[in-house]
Structures are given as C-alpha cells and as structure tokens.
Amino acid sequence: MTERAPECRLDLRGTPCPLNWVKTKLRLEEMEPGRRIEVTVDQGNPARNVPRSAKMEGHRIVHAISRNGAVRICIERAEESAP
C-alpha cells in the first residue's frame, strides 16, 4: 500500500476549461482529506490549468502522466478546501 489508489476517476476529455476544474473540484469537496482522484484531461490548456487550480486550493498533485494526447492527473485532497 505504498501508492493509494484513486478513490474515483473522471474522464474530462473534451470538457473545456474551466468546467473540467469545476467538476474536479465538486468531487474533491465530497472526499475525505488525503483521498485521491484521477482526472483525465486534454493536453494543452486543460493539462496546465487543472493542476494549477488544484494547487491554488492547496491540493497536492501526486503525478501527471501524458498518454495518447491526454493527461492523467492524480490529485490528493487537502486537509482544508476552504480558507
């Protein structure tokens, strides 16, 4: 159990910014701190913006893996999502 598996996966390919982040955020809000979500987004702006927004809210990017024109981003939920 070195790498905890993501609690849920969202395929957000084709979902434009900022809706891809909004949908990710809504899921993160429902999760316990420390749990993980894996979202798949398009390369380019989505792959840049979603991790940046997640980090701005204090969440941790566990990894981001590029494959076949999409990027799989694993995000670990922060302790506190609201200030």
Partner 1 sequence: MSDFSEAQIERYSRHIILREVGGKGQSKLLDSRVLIIGAGGLGSPVGLYLAAAGVGTIGIVDSDAVDLSNLQRQILHATTDLGRPKCLSARETMEDINPDVCVVPHQFHLDSSNVLDVVADYDIVVDGADNFPTRYLVNDACVMQGKPLSHAGILRFEGHVTTIVPGRGPCYRCLYPEPPPPGLVPSCQEAGILGAVAGIVGSIQAAEVLKLILRIGDALVGRLLVFDGLEMAFRSIEIPRDSGCSVCGDRPTITAPIDYEEFCRLRGGTESKPEVQS
Contact status: 29 vs partner 1 (CB under 8 A)? yes
Which of 53, 62, 64, 72: binder of partner 1 (CB under 8 A)? 53
DSSP-derived letter for residue 36 is E
Instruction: Please state, as a whole number, how many other Cβ atoms lie within 10 Å of the Cβ of residue 33.
Output: 12
Contact status: 81 vs partner 1 (CB under 8 A)? yes
Which of 6, 13, 18, 43: binder of partner 1 (CB under 8 A)? 18
Burial of 29 (C-beta count, 10 Å sphere; 0-12/13-18/19+) = exposed
Contact status: 82 vs partner 1 (CB under 8 A)? yes
